[in-house]
Amino acid sequence: MSSNVGRMNRAKVLSQVRNFNMQYGDCIVIAGSAMVILGLRETTSDIDIVVSPKIYEAIKQKHGSTKLFDPDMEVTKLGTLDISDSGYGTTDYIVVDGVKTMTPKALLAFKKSLNRPKDQEDIINLERYLKTMEKF
């Protein structure tokens, strides 16, 4: 059984995103943190968000940036937040408890495109969720 030390539940994720929105502006929650907001995963270790290029440029100027797994994608780490402008204008989202969150369908496509070992359980859960939702 994995430890939840240093991991954030739904309430913590929502709180941190709302604080970010008040300080910097609008964002969209993606990846594992979106899974947590949607109730499809219990916890996450970080919060991945995308912002407009204008907001990202201001954050990057103040806090710097780094390259992660994709050499073409810059990310600024701000505490538990991983911030980027990659895909901001093309990310499908829904609003959940006042927070823009990547749609389950977009999350599935995103997770499948990454297809890392750590994404496999999320892919299964998203496919199961979407199949269940088709019935309604």
Per-residue pLDDT tens for 108-131?
A: 999 999 899 999 999 999 999 999
Instruction: Note the pLDDT tens digit of each residue in 47-99.
Output: 999 999 999 999 999 998 887 666 677 899 999 999 999 889 899 999 999 99
Q: What are phi and psi of 86, to 5 degrees?
A: -65, 120
pTM, rounded to two decimals = 0.89
pLDDT value, residue 1: 44
Coil, strand, or helix at residue 51?
strand
The answer to the question of residue 120 being in a domain is no
Rounded Cα–Cα distance for residues 134 and 84 (Å): 32
The answer to the question of residue 124 being in a domain is no
The answer to the question of residue 112 being in a domain is no
Coil, strand, or helix at residue 79?
coil
The answer to the question of residue 129 being in a domain is no
The answer to the question of residue 108 being in a domain is no
Instruction: Supply the range of the domain harboring residue 66.
Output: 10-103
Burial class, 119, CB count within 10 angstroms (exposed 0-12 / middle 13-18 / buried 19+): middle
